[in-house]
Amino acid sequence: MSGQQEVELVVRTIAQTAVDNEKYFGDLDAVVGDGDFGYSLARGFEKVLEGWDDLDRSAPGTFLKKVGIVISSRIGGTSGPIWGTAFLRAGATLGDAQEVTGEQVAAALRAAAEGIKARGNSDVGDKTLLDVLVPLADRLEQEVQAGSDARTTLEALSTTAREAAEATKDMIAKRGRASYTGERSRGSVDAGAMALAVIVEQVDQAWQREALR
């Protein structure tokens, strides 16, 4: 696959996973949040899929930025700015490069995390998707440095994401509607963190299916 094809596979998998898991992600959010996370995410990524053929494919980074613009304008609540910022920062990091290296992907993930931190005034430990995204960036950097191939790397990221998402169960929410519940937010996973874990697992599976074709 070319760099553009790789990015398209990942983004399409993210979008389809958000749509397919609308109820599950919403149910997770309803435990201590307002329950609209699954609906908001699904509606935004539906728009991405609806306009798929019209997205600018001149470079992987440009493609990601266009996706970020759609998400920012179509996802309601706090999720739009957060997820939109992640795609915009990742796209800006990739720039005009036609091929994407492991180092560039790691840098893009790191930039996405830093963008979310700034946009949401949040950090690791606040019980948000950052509690998965930052460990993902760390693990990816380790795998790249170790020279791991794509399949090994994605399997490692999948495991890291699931473990990090499960770990949010023991945290107290400090951002969003869930933060109003204080101590009661302990005992349930963060919806955004678990959504990211499910997405990474689906990307891993999609990549393996593509490799077998």
Which H helix or E strand runs over 208?
Answer: helix 191-212
Q: Are 93 and 78 in contact (CB under 8 A)?
A: no
79-108 pLDDT, tens digit per residue, is: 888 999 999 999 999 999 999 999 999 999
User: HSE on the CB side for 178, CA within 13 Å?
Assistant: 29
Alpha carbon separation from 111 to 118, 129, 171, 185, 205 (Å, rounded): 11, 14, 24, 28, 25
> How many structural domains is the chain composed of?
1
Q: Are 8 and 63 in contact (CB under 8 A)?
A: yes
Alpha carbon separation from 19 to 15, 34, 49, 164 (Å, rounded): 6, 19, 10, 23
CATH code for the domain in which residue 117 is found: 1.25.40.340
**pTM score above 0.85:** yes
What are the residues whose beta carbons fall under 8 Å from the beta carbon of 136, sequence distance 6 or more?
109, 157, 160, 161, 164, 196, 200
Residue 33 region by backbone torsions, left for phi larger than 0, else alpha for psi between -120 and 50, else beta: beta
State which residues form the domain around 74: 3-212
13-49 pLDDT, tens digit per residue, is: 999 999 999 999 999 988 877 788 999 999 999 999 9
